[in-house]
Structure 1
Amino acid sequence: MKTFHCQFCGHPLFFENVQCLQCGSALAFLPDRLNMVAIEEAPDGQEGLWRPRSRGRKASDLRYRLCHNHTTQNACNFAVPAQDPNRLCVSCRLTRVLPDLSVPANPLRWYRLEVAKRRLFYALAKLGLVATNPPEGGADGPIFEFLADLPGQPVMTGHAQGVITLNVAEADDAERVRRREEMHEPYRTLLGHLRHESGHYYWDRLIDEGGRTESFRKVFGDEQQDYQAALQAHYARGGTVPDWQDSFVSEYATAHPWEDWAETWAHYLHMVDLLETAASYNTRLRIPGQDVEVEEVVNPLETGHPDFDSLVEQWVPLTLLVNSLNRSLGQEDAYPFALSPGALDKLRYVHDVISETRSRTPAQGAQPQQDKGKTESPPA
């Protein structure tokens, strides 16, 4: 994600900020404009409304309310257009079930989950896959349920019929690391979970309902094979598949074509998000000792329809830089993957599907979609 700037003083801002540390301005993210702005209370007679803060310019006519989850729980920094009848922002209204907030650990878990979900929403909106201002206070995109284990009722992270379920225990760093080790995964994050599960949601929308099943099968295989049997076989062999790197982005992707798609989808979202971040810093790249140079990383979320080969040309040296920086700080590689030609072919397919959808349905005009799905995945 790109770095934002305070429109009042110019200080750099992060996506989660609620106040500018330089000028003290209150901040809000405006989903209908996909931008973080400094805000101030609207003039008398407009109680509860805010407007973008101006400096030496005509006062803005735009009016917003702060999301209900900000005013009551301090758990959101998105704003709601004044004419929108929904008390919740476009991201928070996608959450159908919250964890029990009377449990001491759950408010922080919920906050972390919503932060990750807002980052997912931003990327999907930039790609034209969700509406940023759906009509009549509606919602667009997958529905979320954040649940906790109960005695004898463990919660499985997964997707089914348009609903993404996430176990709130994943918001605890220690528990997530334990599960990562147990599942033999090199990468496991809250945002990664949400990106993966959104892949299942968009398989239904873009592949099944989009009439692309035949082209999908040519790249990923036949998804009609028994899903539960495939998962059982995957775990029975301990997830070990010889030479899986030749064709897959992860070992879990070998379990079933649906999981292959979801893992590849998540990987593509990793790619465009990191490239946008690098572009916001005007990053130039050169691999030491090699004749590989990127004059400037291009933001794939603001360049219309970027060429996939160009993205990969920038991606490879960028991930080398990120890993080198991490190792300098005594951390493990932030990007523990190596993409083979087979995996890149699948990423190209995801890129092409999104580009086709993006060209037909820009983010501002996307319409709410009906829930339809059939998959439910284990933690991935």
Structure 2
Amino acid sequence: MKIFQCGNCKTSIYFENVECDNCGHLTGYRAEDRKMLTFDFANDTLISDREGIEYKFCKNKEYSVCNWVLEKDSPEEFCSACQLNRTIPKLADADNFENWTHMEIAKHRLIYQLQKIGLSLPNKMDNDDIGLCFDFVSNKSNPKLMTGHANGVVTILIREGNSVLREKARKQLKEPYRTLVGHLRHEVGHYFWDRLIRDNPDTLAEYRTIFGNESQDYGKALETYYKTETPKDWQKEFISQYATSHPWEDWAETWAHYLHIMDMVETGYFFKISVNSIADNDDFKTSISFDPYTIENFDKIVENCVPLSFAVNSMNRAMGIPDIYPFVISPVIIEKLRFIHKLLLTKRN
């Protein structure tokens, strides 16, 4: 994520800020050029500090889950991120409301990243064939309902917004990592497999060479995965144990980690982070001087991500907190990540 600044006092502000903590000016994110606009709170209308143009907040601002803005005369009531919501939970339930708030924070960060890559995000309500939408739902009345993706519909169980329940699920499934943004990145990976690979013969052939043949029975593959032990050396070829279950899941897990890595390195770039270990080992030294979304050579991104994640993991361990990125990136996994990077280069803005 990039660093944003208040247009009035130049203080750094977070992506989710609704006002500047220093001067009190209102803040609103404009998706078209990924800029944070600021507005004098003393005005009756949202006139941007820098441009003098009038805006309005996304309708979901009233629930304190969105700070994105649209031009005043826009016919849309919701921003490009909130337009993708097909179903939200009943907000009269306090738990639902809190969990949905956490969901929206993660989803807006996801949409920021997908838009920066240059991926089109038509909403399914207007374009059923290729559109995307999100259903944030409870499965209390239907226990069979699960988090997943099907034909452009990303379903996320609202309970995932509860950190206690999410941690419980992580332990039960023996996962090293389980976050909302991780869920969302994984599930949209399935959506983009349909969009970018399924109907492109050349790309599909290359995908099968790298990830395997996805035509094998998906249901049986998952059943086998849950009934048998994962091979002990799975880390040599897969980013997670779940990725071993089926080539579709390998793709979705690798896609999610590609987005993790790109976001980490982008953040490192905007903070001008340098890692200079006193150890006599150049593998743990870096100075991130580039925006990863502008780099064609994915190996350069990995070379900078490894020391960055090692340093941050070490800081977390110093505070008694689990590793922020507890994964091993092997040469085989790098090849998979490189395939995704190459595939997306043509989508860059």
TM-score where L is the length of structure 2: 0.93
Q: Pick which of 26-35 and 77-86 moved more.
A: 77-86
Q: Match for residue 215 of structure 2?
A: 224
Provide the C-alpha distance between the structure 1 equivalents of 2:206 and 2:53, rounded to a whole number of angstroms: 45
Name the residue aligned to 1:329.
Answer: 319
For 1:1-380, what aligned pairs fall within 5 Å after superposition?
A: 1-40=1-40, 49-54=45-50, 60-70=51-61, 72-130=62-120, 142-211=132-201, 212-238=203-229, 240-289=230-279, 290-292=281-283, 293-301=285-293, 303=294, 305-358=295-348, 362=349
Closer, same or farther: CA 113–141 of 1 in aligned 2, 3 Å: farther
Displacement of 1:295 in angstroms is: 3.3
Aligned residues: CA RMSD: 2.1
Asked whether the equivalents of residues 7 and 37 of structure 1 are also in contact (C-alpha less than 8 Å), the reply is: yes
Q: Distance in 1 between matches of 2:104 and 2:41?
A: 25
TM-superposed CA distance for 1:282, in Å, is 0.8
Q: Report the 3-state secondary structure (helix = DSSP H, G, I; strand = E; otherwise coil) of the residue aligned with 1:144.
A: strand
Q: Distance in 2 between matches of 1:74 and 1:297?
A: 35
Q: Which runs of 5+ in 1 are unaligned?
A: 55-59, 363-380
Letter matched to residue 227 of structure 1: Y
- Cα distance per residue 1:118-151 (max 9 Å; x no partner): 00000001100136xx89x978962000000224
Amino acid at match of 1:343: I
Comparing 281-290 with 178-187, which one deviates more in the overlay?
281-290
Q: Match of 1:286, as an amino acid?
A: N
Cα offset for 1:22?
0.4
Gaps of 5+ in 2: none
Q: CA deviation at 1:350?
A: 0.8
Task: Report how many aligned residue pairs link the two structures.
Answer: 343
Aligned 8 A contact 1:265 1:347 in 2: yes
Q: Is the 1:275–1:297 contact (alpha carbons within 8 Å) kept by the matching residues of 2? A: no
Larger RCO of the pair (alpha carbons < 8 Å, separation 6+): 1
Q: Which amino acid aligns with 2:48?
A: P
1:67–1:77 Cα contact (<8 Å) kept: yes
- Runs (4 or more) in structure 1 with deviation over 6 Å come to 137-140
Secondary structure of the residue that 1:342 maps to in structure 2? Answer: helix
Q: Note if contact 2:25-2:41 (Cα within 8 Å) is conserved in structure 1.
A: no
Per-residue deviation at 1:37? 1.9
What's the CA shift for 1:346? 0.6
Per-residue deviation at 1:152?
4.6
2:24 is paired with a residue of what secondary structure? coil
Residue 346 of structure 2: SS of its match in structure 1?
Answer: helix
Q: Is the 8 A contact 2:287 2:304 kept in 1?
A: no
Distance 2:87 2:13 in 1: 30
Q: Distance in 2 between matches of 1:50 and 1:73?
A: 18
Amino acid at match of 1:296: I
Q: Distance in 2 between matches of 1:320 and 1:243?
A: 22
Tell me how far 1:63 sits from its aligned partner: 2.6
What is the distance in 1 between the residues matched to 2:41 and 2:74? Answer: 18
Q: CA-to-partner distance for each residue in 1:96-137, whole Å, 9 max, x for gaps? A: 001111112111111111110000000001100136xx89x9
Letter paired with 1:9: C
What SS is found at the alignment partner of 1:324? helix
1:370 maps to which residue?
A: none
Worse-matched range after superposition: 60-69 or 90-99: 60-69
TM-score relative to the length of structure 1: 0.86
Distance 1:147 1:200, change over 3 A: same
